[in-house]
Amino acid sequence: MLWPTQPAGAIGSEQSGHTAAAKLEALHRAVDQGQQQVEEFSEEELNAYLQLRLAPEEPDVEGFPTSFVVNQINLAFTENRFTGHIAAHWLWIPLTYEVAGSLAETAGRVDVAEQSVRIGHLPLRGFVEQYALSRVQTLLREFDREQVVFDHIARVQIGDKIIRVMVAGER
């Protein structure tokens, strides 16, 4: 469990992160205006954006970390599959979570079709897998501005090192 995994996705420059932010803002505007919009993101853009969004957490008064701190979120894309890598620390213990899977469109909604979850190199199953997934979902809820876009995704196409997202706003 303490044998951390390494992220697989490419990380772009700060400018790449700003490019992803502009594309996400365009998707957000489309949702607000009830329109459809398609944007294509590279791994580099999304991973740079995620690095910009993860503000470093402050230690407590005595200089000791007191909780779970996320250091990095990294996404990698191959044909029709994704891998999400989360590097974190709990107190002084380094942890890595990895969620891999594919997406499926059902009833106008995009969901994770099949998945695997690991902490470090240890694959998880059963209730432990469900617990780890709930922790990842809790983390994703922290991205409240992006949640509006997540909630309106109508179609996703994953290619090699790219992801194409279509939102459909509601009127």
pLDDT at 61 over 60: no
DSSP letter at 39 equals E
Q: So what's the pLDDT on residue 105?
A: 79
Q: How many C-beta neighbours within 10 Å does residue 116 have? A: 13
What one-character DSSP code corresponds to residue 170?
Answer: -
Residue 161 confidence (pLDDT): 96
Question: What are the strands of the beta sheet with 153-159, ordered from one edge?
Answer: 36-42, 162-168, 153-159
Q: Is residue 2 part of a domain?
A: no
Whether 85 is covered by a domain: the verdict is yes
pLDDT score at 68: 75
Does some domain include residue 139? yes
- The backbone region for 159, taken as left when phi is positive above 0, alpha when psi lies in -120 to 50, beta otherwise, is beta
Give the span between the Cα atoms of 134 and 97, in whole angstroms. Answer: 12
In a domain, 3, yes or no: no
Phi, then psi, of 11 in degrees rounded to 5:
-115, 125
**Buried b / exposed e across 38-66, counting CB within 10 Å, b at 16+?**
ebebbbbbbbbbbbeeeeeeeeeeeeeee
pLDDT at 26: 97
Q: How many domains does the chain have?
A: 1
Whether the per-residue pLDDT at 65 is higher than 90: the answer is no
User: Which residue has better confidence, 32 or 137?
Assistant: 32
Note the pLDDT of residue 67: 74
Query: Under a CB-based contact definition with an 8 Å cutoff, are residues 132 and 97 in contact?
Result: yes
Domain of residue 73, residue span: 14-56+64-168
* Residue 59 clears pLDDT 60, i.e. is over it: no
Looking at residue 66, its pLDDT comes to 58
Of residues 107 and 81, more confidently modeled: 81
d(CA 171, CA 109): 17
* Residue at token pair 């303490």: 2
pLDDT bin (cut points 50, 70, 90) of residue 22 is very high
* Residue at 158 is within a domain: yes
The better pLDDT of the pair 48, 141 is held by: 48
Residue 80 C-alpha from the chain's centroid: 16
Q: Is residue 7 part of a domain?
A: no
- Residue listed under structure tokens 């772009």: 12
- Chain centroid to CA 42: how far? 13
Q: Does the residue 4 lie in any domain? A: no
Across-strand partners of 119?
A: 97, 122
Q: For residues 57 and 141, what is the distance between their CA atoms, to the nearest angstrom?
A: 17
Bigger pLDDT: 157 vs 92: 157
Instruction: Please check whether residue 5 lies inside any domain of the structure.
Output: no
Q: What is the pLDDT of residues 101-152, one digit of tens each?
A: 998 877 777 777 778 889 888 888 888 888 888 888 888 778 888 988 988 9
